[in-house]
Amino acid sequence: MNAALIASESLGKFSREGFDAFVARRIDPIWLTEKRRSVWETFDAMDWPNPRDENWMRSDLRGFKLDKFTPVDETLTLEPTAAPVRLRDGVDMGGDISSVNGLVISQSLDPELAAKGVVFCSLSKACRDHAELVKKHLHSLIDSAADRFAALEAAMWSDGVFLYVPRNVVVEKPLHLHSAMVDGGIDLAHTLVVLEEGAQATVLTECSSEVEQGSGFHCGGVELILGARSNLRFVSLQDWGQKVWAFAHQKASVGQDATIQWTVAAMGSRFAQVDQQVELVAPGASSYVNGVMFTRDRQHLTYNTIQRHCSQHCTSDFLYKSVLQDRSRTVWRGMIKVDEGADKTDGYQRNDNLMLSDHARADSIPGLEIKADDVRCTHGSTSGRVDEELIFYAQTRGFTRHEAVLMIVTGFFQQIFDRITIESVREALGAAIARQVRQVD
């Protein structure tokens, strides 16, 4: 068994005593400790999400037992794991960070980028070395009281990543983050990205478990803050073990004439619930979000997305596609919110679902909430079974049934692939999808 688990047996659970021990073990600055203590009180006073709440009514949390998990011991030295890394192959990286069970074990950054003032390091380290910068932005987007998972993450995040790109600095090479989890482990990690005016960067993040059928608990947060005219390409590949419970709050704030291209791929975990928000906070802000979900067995993945137009002349485009096998289930709730006065809005959202099994289920709930007069907001959703005629036609041309299904699934996702501008990501996603396609009954 991994040393991280053996040592953690005596550390106490996510109780007040466990929290106190967690804080005592850390070497956080005082401002952070105070912040943690304040949010812990919020967590302690909250109930678990109400199943009647619209965000949670399609999610069965009864099987989730927080007491099964133990806060990780950050005083341990953790070794690299065999958890697969998919987005690094053949890519010339500008920086690379690896973590195990939510603790950073290695970090590197191209010296040329460091000389330009770029910061790419462990979030714990950044809280000490770049306190004013982190203090200003950490948990500034995500409401720690949004639900009990958001509060737990804000109180007990163990580590994570901080990226800061100064004004007008262009980071050409992608920066990479891999989060690994041992079987039965936990990952409470936070990603904070701050791009100053005119800055540009590409960030590839991925997570995976050491054991494909591994269990565990992920409770994470992602905050992406884009200054005016900045440009961020952010990729997130979720491939946790098949028995992992995963919860996350992810939010981007996009400034004037700034652009975010955000690609999400979700393949792993037993149960995942992600709240993803993009706020367009100044004129001319744009967001392009691509989501791929591929589920199997009895996986249950929920994505609640909000694209919020707070200002005029902003564009948002969300495209989520899911392929479901076996008895898996996806839930996608998409909402376009347009604030009063946010005229000349161009908002689009779409969710397509392809069922490869009679027993799979996809819930697709697009929505609009518009308080401005002069807008163009459109949304759409399609769900359907894989077309037997297409499979038959391919078989008459010499393809096996499996090859035919793989071809159809690849074609289904092609629209998303076409929108992904990073070749390594396209290849990694294609390979991951090909690996998961099973025979269709």
Partner 1 sequence: MYHSVCNLSDLKPNVPVTFEVDDRFVLVTLIDGEVYCIDDVCTHDGGTLGEGEVDGNCIACPRHGAKFDLRSGDALCMPATEPTCSHDVKVDSGTVLVQLRD
Contacts 24+ apart (CB under 8 A), 339-342: 339/308, 339/309, 339/310, 339/311, 339/371, 339/372, 340/371, 340/372, 341/312, 341/372, 342/309, 342/310, 342/311, 342/312, 342/314, 342/371, 342/372, 342/375
**Distance between CA atoms of 108 and 299, rounded to whole angstroms?**
35
Nearest Cα residue to 150 out of 286, 55, 62, 31: 55
Question: Given candidates 25, 58, 173, 419, which one binds partner 1 under the rule CB under 8 A?
Answer: 58
- Restricted to residues 179-198, the positions that interact with partner 1 (CB under 8 A) are none
Q: Does the protein bind partner 1 through residue 63 (CB under 8 A)?
A: yes
Q: Does the protein bind partner 1 through residue 327 (CB under 8 A)?
A: yes
Q: Does the protein bind partner 1 through residue 6 (CB under 8 A)?
A: no
**Distance between CA atoms of 74 and 102, rounded to whole angstroms?**
9
- Restricted to residues 243-302, the positions that interact with partner 1 (CB under 8 A) are 243, 270, 298
Pick 6 or 57: Cβ nearer partner 1? 57
**Distance between CA atoms of 193 and 223, rounded to whole angstroms?**
6
Q: Does the protein bind partner 1 through residue 114 (CB under 8 A)?
A: no
Question: Given candidates 6, 27, 45, 57, which one binds partner 1 under the rule CB under 8 A?
Answer: 57
**Distance between CA atoms of 71 and 94, rounded to whole angstroms?**
32
Nearest distance, CB of residue 58 and partner 1, angstroms: 6
Pick 237 or 331: Cβ nearer partner 1? 331
Distances in Å between the alpha carbon of 299 and those of 158, 209, 362? Answer: 27, 16, 12
Nearest distance, CB of residue 63 and partner 1, angstroms: 6
Question: Given candidates 88, 344, 361, 419, which one binds partner 1 under the rule CB under 8 A?
Answer: 361
Q: Does the protein bind partner 1 through residue 333 (CB under 8 A)?
A: no
Specify burial of residue 79 (Cβ count, 10 A radius: 0-12, 13-18, 19+).
exposed
Residue 185 region by backbone torsions, left for phi larger than 0, else alpha for psi between -120 and 50, else beta: beta
Nearest Cα residue to 285 out of 339, 220, 321: 339
Nearest distance, CB of residue 354 and partner 1, angstroms: 19
Nearest distance, CB of residue 214 and partner 1, angstroms: 14
Q: Does the protein bind partner 1 through residue 68 (CB under 8 A)?
A: no
Lookup: tokens for 402? 């499996």
| Cβ-based neighbour number of residue 368 at 10 Å | 15
Pick 327 or 379: Cβ nearer partner 1? 327
Q: Does the protein bind partner 1 through residue 53 (CB under 8 A)?
A: no
User: Judged by CB under 8 A, which stretch of 54-62, 157-165, 199-207, 341-349 contacts partner 1?
Assistant: 54-62
Nearest distance, CB of residue 241 and partner 1, angstroms: 13
Mask for 218-247, x = binds partner 1 (CB under 8 A): -------------------------x----
What number of chain residues touch partner 1 (CB under 8 A)? 13
- Restricted to residues 400-439, the positions that interact with partner 1 (CB under 8 A) are none
Nearest distance, CB of residue 42 and partner 1, angstroms: 28
Q: Does the protein bind partner 1 through residue 397 (CB under 8 A)?
A: no
Pick 57 or 431: Cβ nearer partner 1? 57
Pick 51 or 380: Cβ nearer partner 1? 51
Q: Does the protein bind partner 1 through residue 62 (CB under 8 A)?
A: yes
Residues lying near partner 1 in the complex (CB under 8 A): 51, 57-58, 60, 62-63, 243, 270, 298, 327, 329, 361, 363
